[in-house]
Amino acid sequence: MTVATEITLRYFAWIREKTGRAEERLTLPPTLQTVADLLAWQATRGPEFADAFAKPGVIRAAIDQRHVKPASPLAGAREIAFFPPVTGG
């Protein structure tokens, strides 16, 4: 049994613009196990989130500032970020 803890969610580039926020603190539903689960759940959080997370396949994620894959577990995460594929350089 795990204790539900508050984590930080961060959004960048057009995902930040569509959700209307750069970051937020919240407690995730305990049913969410993986990054893919969280991406699907985000799309259910209202029209802005439905728009931002309409195509989860084009969204990348990082847990505690490290790149992760859709199948990566959420357990133990303190900060989860969502962003489009990077375009630096």
Partner 1 sequence: MAVRVQTQDFDIAAEIAALTADRTDIGAVVTFTGLVRGTAAGRDLVSMTLEHYPGMTEAELEAVEAEAHARWPLQASLIVHRVGELQPGANIVLVITASPHRHAAFQAAEFLMDYLKTRAPFWKKEKWADGQTAWVDARETDATAVERWTRSTS
- Give, as ranges, the residues between 25 and 84 that touch partner 1 (CB under 8 A): 62, 65-67, 81, 83-84
Tokens read off for 48:
């802005």
Question: Least CB distance from residue 89 to partner 1, whole Å?
Answer: 4
Question: For residue 12, what are the contacts with CB-CB under 8 A and spacing of at least 6?
Answer: 22, 81, 82, 83, 84
Residue with smaller CB distance to partner 1, 20 or 30? 20
Question: Least CB distance from residue 65 to partner 1, whole Å?
Answer: 4
Question: Least CB distance from residue 2 to partner 1, whole Å?
Answer: 25
Residue 24 one-letter amino acid? E
Tokens 């847990």 belong to: 63
